[in-house]
A and B are shown apart, each in its own frame.
Chain A
Amino acid sequence: AQKITQTQPGMFVQEKEAVTLDCTYDTSDPSYGLFWYKQPSSGEMIFLIYQGSYDQQNATEGRYSLNFQKARKSANLVISASQLGDSAMYFCAMREGRNAGNMLTFGGGTRLMVKP
């Protein structure tokens, strides 16, 4: 079974509107972390936001927020007030446990396209 699933290969959003990118995960480890990265067409990986499994509140970073629903094992990324520069690939990733080498397991990504 896939550990990280992103079901939306591509999405369009109108500039200035909000958009939600879906991510579900699968782990039996009680301690894990969830990450979102942005990869623009230039190719670099840009860290956006992090949610720890024990965090009580949903993470927020500027226009990015993470809708963490632990019972559903989902960690959706919400981008408010979309901008043209938000057009990029977005990857959800998970780190399991504290001593598993801290490797990240990535989902397949969602390509977001912001329309003017």
Chain B
Amino acid sequence: DTAVSQTPKYLVTQMGNDKSIKCEQNLGHDTMYWYKQDSKKFLKIMFSYNNKELIINETVPNRFSPKSPDKAHLNLHINSLELGDSAVYFCASSEMTSADNEQFFGPGTRLTVL
């Protein structure tokens, strides 16, 4: 069973387009996240949602808009894509009150903006 799934796995698009990445977790967790991994493999938090409410937005341009229709889903919509948005985007989930808060990551979505 897939714990955290993301679609699509690969996304190639032109500058200026709008695109969405979907994320679903079946672990019953209450917190979900989006991370961005750049070409140098550096991973950085973008957003954190707890029970469908935004709790962290780490200076991400407002072209990025997360949407959480329920606590099992956290989708990422990106408007007016730029070359610098090319990266691997990881969704993750965890249980806020658990002792270790291990975050389970999705397989990643490789976004290439041409």
Residues of A within 8 A of B (CB): 33, 35, 37, 39, 43-45, 47, 50, 52, 89, 91, 93, 95, 100-106, 108-109
Contacts and interface: CB of A to CB of B under 8 A. Distances in A.
B42 A47 contact: no
Interface string B84-114: 0000101010101001111111011010000
Nearest to B107: A44
Interface residues on B, range: 20 to 34
A103 B45 contact: yes
B55 interface: yes
A45 B58 contact: no
B48 A106 contact: no
A37 B92 CA distance: 13
User: Do most interface residues of chain A lie in helix, strand or loop, or is the interface mixed?
Assistant: strand
Interface of B: 31, 33, 35, 40-45, 48, 50, 55-56, 58, 88, 90, 92, 94, 96, 99-105, 107-108, 110
A109 B90 contact: no
A45 B35 CA distance: 11
B41 A45 contact: no
Contacts of A43: 88, 107-108, 110
A108 B42 contact: yes
Given A39-B41, A106-B43, 5 more contacts: A35-B102, A43-B88, A45-B90, A47-B103, A102-B31
A105 B33 CA distance: 12
B44 A44 contact: no
B102 to A, nearest CB: 5
Given A52-B99, A101-B56, A47 B104 contact: yes
Contacts of A100: 56
B43 to A, nearest CB: 4
A82 B80 CA distance: 45
Given A43-B108, A47-B104, A106-B42, A101 B48 contact: yes
